[in-house]
A = this chain, B = another copy of it.
Amino acid sequence: MKPVMTLHELQSFLTDEFPQVMGPDSGFTLDAVGDGSITMKLIAADRHLRPGGTVSGPTLFTLADVSAYVAILAHIGPVALAVTTNMSINFLIKPPPGTLVAKASILKLGKRLAVVEVAISGKADARTVCHAVATYSIPPER
C-alpha cells in the first residue's frame, strides 16, 4: 500500500488545516511516512500530563486518533475527511515521562471504511504502553 502524499505535503496540510492539533505548540509532530503506515511523536508539555508526570489518557487517545487519521490521509489524499466511528483502546502500562512515539498501520482501506492499528511506546523503551484499533468512515464523495 503506497502513500499518495509526501511527508512534507502532509506536514503542510496538517499545519494549515488543523493548527490547534498540529501547530508548532501542539507537541505533535509527523516524523515518517511509509507503505501503509506513518509515525508521529508527542513531545509532552505540562498540559498533556497527569500528576506524576505521565501522559494522560485523553492525550493518549488524541495521539492514537490523530495518528490513525494521518495514516489514512497519507493514503487517500486530502480529498475527503475521514470520521472516527469507533476506537477500542487498551492502556497497557503507565507511559514513561517524556516523548512518546506512535506508529499507525492501516489494516484495511476500503471505499467506505478504514481500520487502523496504533502502537504507542516511549522513545527510549520499545515496550508498547498503549494500543488502539480505530475505524473511520470515509465519505462517499471522495
Contact = CB atoms under 8 A, between A and B. Distances in A.
A139 to B, nearest CB: 10
A84 B59 CA distance: 14
Given A89-B86, A90-B86, A93-B108, A137 B115 contact: no
Nearest to A83: B91
Nearest to A109: B92
Contacts of A75: none
Chain A interface residue bracket vs B: 20 to 34
Given A65-B58, A131-B133, A135-B135, A87 B89 contact: yes
Interface string A107-133: 110001101010000000000100101
A108 B92 contact: yes
A29 B90 CA distance: 27
A117 B92 CA distance: 12
Interface string A17-58: 000000000000000000000000000000000000000011
A5 to B, nearest CB: 22
Interface of A: 57-59, 61-62, 65, 83-93, 107-108, 112-113, 115, 117, 128, 131, 133, 135, 137
